[in-house]
């Protein structure tokens, strides 16, 4: 039995048996884990407010083997993101990121950069900036850190550099750009050169600086469904948290830029 202590973001909680809770969290050094918090439903004192989704905590857990559930012994709150929790729109954006990490990151696969990305994204959502900009930056970086980086350098078919040429399409199934010279199969989105350059910058900037990038109206319209579609393509299912964002009108539902 190994006792570990690690920073973590709580992704999901579920009731378990009569008095326990199952907690899925993303830790800085061990990746995604699920643990039993014994007595968490009965005794509110033991884990007071520290095992709620979105919370940033210092978690202590016992790991019996290299697979299966861990046993959560203690959890100390570092940041409950109270400001964020007071705004339903921002809760929606935060929940979406937790669901994406939950679905896309394999259990027990360490990815400290992904922990930093999720943590920084939640911090940005606490501020006053536009949450949709942060979401798109989060999704792009998340895809890259999960091994699904969109190819934005050149045409997948002829190799033409994406800084030249005028008409560009992004192919969801191929995960990259196609110039205007080729017939297009599958779902593609037309993207402007400005958007391609912005996304390339967003892939390359150091983690702390990426949040300063802003999408112009056209880039927002071009990227919104493209990035969500790309995530859906890799997950092979819809994201439940998107429904809340659509219901409260925080994200547009019309898909005008896709070329099926």
Q: Which residues bind Zn ion (CB under 5 A)?
A: 155, 157-158, 160, 179, 181
Closest CB 179 distance from Zn ion, rounded Å: 3
121: burial class by Cβ within 10 Å (0-12, 13-18, 19+)?
A: buried
**Considering beta carbons, is residue 158 or 235 the nearer one to Zn ion?**
158
Is the CB of residue 256 less than 8 Å from the CB of residue 98?
A: no
Find the shortest distance in angstroms from Cβ 72 to Zn ion. Answer: 52
> To the nearest whole angstrom, how small is the minimum distance from the Cβ of residue 159 to Zn ion?
7
Nearest CB to Zn ion, comparing residues 157 and 232: 157
Select 68 or 186, whichever has its Cβ closest to Zn ion.
186
Angle between helices 112-126 and 131-145 (to 10 degrees): 180
Least separation in angstroms between residue 157's CB and Zn ion is 4
* Cα 168 from Cα 214, distance rounded (Å): 21
What is the number of other CB atoms lying within 10 angstroms of the CB of residue 123?
A: 15
State how far the alpha carbon of 202 is from the alpha carbons of 9, 75, 86, 122, 196, in Å: 23, 34, 29, 17, 10
- Strands of the sheet containing 176-179, edge to edge, are 151-155, 176-179, 168-171, 188-191, 258-259
Ramachandran bin of 147, using left for φ above 0, alpha for ψ from -120 to 50, beta for the remaining angles: left
Pick the closer one to Zn ion by CB: 79 or 153. 153
Give the residue with the Cβ less far from Zn ion, 179 or 199.
179
Residues 65, 216: Cα–Cα separation, whole Å: 49
CB of 156 to Zn ion, least distance (A): 8
- Shortest Å, Cβ 185 to Zn ion: 14
To the nearest 10°, report the CA torsion of 90, 128, 105, 40. -60
Which residues have a Cβ under 8 Å from the Cβ of 106 and sit 6 or more positions away? 31, 32
CB of 111 vs Zn ion, minimal distance in Å: 33
Q: What is the distance between the alpha carbons of residues 178 and 158, in angstroms, rounded to a whole number?
A: 8
Pick between residue 4 and residue 160 the one whose CB is nearest to Zn ion: 160
Q: What is the DSSP letter of 211?
A: G
Q: By C-beta, is 166 or 236 nearer to Zn ion?
A: 166
């Amino acid at each position: 039995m190994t006792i570990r202590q690690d920073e973590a973001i709580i992704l999901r909680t579920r009731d378990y048996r009569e008095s326990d809770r199952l907690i899925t969290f993303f830790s800085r050094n061990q990746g995604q884990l699920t643990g039993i918090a014994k007595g968490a439903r009965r005794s509110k004192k033991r884990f007071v407010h520290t095992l709620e989704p979105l919370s940033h905590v210092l978690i202590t857990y016992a790991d019996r083997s290299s697979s299966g559930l861990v046993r959560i012994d203690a959890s100390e709150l570092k940041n409950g993101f109270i400001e964020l929790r007071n705004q339903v729109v921002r809760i929606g954006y935060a929940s979406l990121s937790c669901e994406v990490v939950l679905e896309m990151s394999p259990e027990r696969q360490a990815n400290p950069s992904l922990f930093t990305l999720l943590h920084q994204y939640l911090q940005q959502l606490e501020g006053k900036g536009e949450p949709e900009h942060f979401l798109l930056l989060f999704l792009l970086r998340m895809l890259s850190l999960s091994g699904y980086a969109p190819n934005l350098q050149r045409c997948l078919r002829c190799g033409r550099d994406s800084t030249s040429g005028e008409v560009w399409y992004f192919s969801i199934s191929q995960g990259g750009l196609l110039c205007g010279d080729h017939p297009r199969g599958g779902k593609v989105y037309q993207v402007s050169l400005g958007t391609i350059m912005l996304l390339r910058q967003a892939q390359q900037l150091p983690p702390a600086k990426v949040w300063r990038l802003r999408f112009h109206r056209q880039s927002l319209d071009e990227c919104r469904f493209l990035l969500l579609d790309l995530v859906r393509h890799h997950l092979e299912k819809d994201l439940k948290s998107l429904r809340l964002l659509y219901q409260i009108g925080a994200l547009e539902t019309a898909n005008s830029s896709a070329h099926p």
